[in-house]
Structure 1
Amino acid sequence: MFPKVPLLLLGFIALGLRVCSFEYEDISKLWPDFTMCVEYAVFRYNQAQSDIFAYKLLWVHRSQRKQFTWTYLMDLEMGRTICKKHDEDIDNCRLQGGPEKKVVRCTFVVNVIPMTSEFTLLNSTCL
């Protein structure tokens, strides 16, 4: 009986490590918390830029959530608009064309506390 206990314990430890690895899983781009995180990421991107023009979301390439958490991973494609970044309705602004046209693709990791709607940008990388 006793020799089986360490093997059983080892099996539970291995299973626990798998469950606690917190891997990202694909989610719907329409998931309510995810869409709010996308808006927050675009807002923070615009705040951080020295460009006077605002960027708006063009496409969500990846939408993922870390298992058992409220941390979201997203790959976003954004385009430079004709509106200034402090304008109210950036989503309805036209994109710039010609030599002023710019498109950027970024990966953001955003954590949210849904009960208080607190967002934290954990990481961002842009190309």
Structure 2
Amino acid sequence: MARPLCTLLLLLVTLAVALSWSPEEDRIIPGGIYKADLNDEWVQRALDFAISEYNKATEDDYYRRPLRVLRARQQIVGGVNYFFDVEVGRTICTKSQPNLDTCAFHEQPELQKKQLCSFKIHEVAWEDRISLVNSRCQEA
């Protein structure tokens, strides 16, 4: 008689624990890839770095900046990997101008030259080291 009661209690405790768990309470596991908060200053810093490196690599005289971030993720490793999927547009500002982050986009879609880009950034904050690991863009 005691054995079925113990089994029932164990089942009830297991069920209670399972029902009380929610996805918002996910624990960060090293090596796992998670949604990144675009309001976080470290995430924003990595995105700014990706766009800066992208602009250095393009031969276009005009500065490009994000139209919208489609997805931002991060992975805790020996530092942090950031993964961004971004729609990038061409602005009316040349790269030599100051305050490029507020430059307006071209009005005409053919001049805006939208691209879909994926960036992978690796940052080791305690060594003050950040690098663009991978960058891939295609016309939107």
The structural deviation recorded for 1:23 is 3.0
Q: How does 1:1-127 map to 2 (within 5 A)?
A: 22-68=31-77, 69-98=79-108, 99-127=110-138
The structural deviation recorded for 1:66 is 1.1
Matching residue's letter, 1:101 = Q
SS in 1 for 2:126: coil
Higher helix share: 2
The structural deviation recorded for 1:64 is 0.6
Whether the aligned pair in 2 keeps the contact of 1:33 and 1:114 (CA below 8 Å) is: no
Matching residue's letter, 1:51 = D
The structural deviation recorded for 1:116 is 4.2
**How many correspondences in the alignment?**
108
% identity of equivalent residues: 24
Give, in whole Å, the separation in 2 of the partners of 1:59 and 1:23. Answer: 25
Matching residue's letter, 1:59 = R
The higher radius of gyration belongs to 2
Structure 1, unpaired ranges of 5+: 1-18
The structural deviation recorded for 1:115 is 2.8
Give, in whole Å, the separation in 2 of the partners of 1:59 and 1:65. Answer: 18
Cα RMSD between the aligned structures? 1.6
Whether the aligned pair in 2 keeps the contact of 1:25 and 1:67 (CA below 8 Å) is: no
Give me the TM-score of the superposition, normalised by structure 2: 0.70
SS in 1 for 2:60: coil
User: What do residues 34-90 of structure 1 show as CA deviations (whole Å, max 9, x unaligned)?
Assistant: 100000000001000011001012211111111344111111111100101232211
Give, in whole Å, the separation in 2 of the partners of 1:53 and 1:97. Answer: 14
Give, in whole Å, the separation in 2 of the partners of 1:54 and 1:117. Answer: 26
Q: Structure 1 residues 78 and 26 mapped into 2: Cα distance closer, same or farther (>3 Å)?
A: same
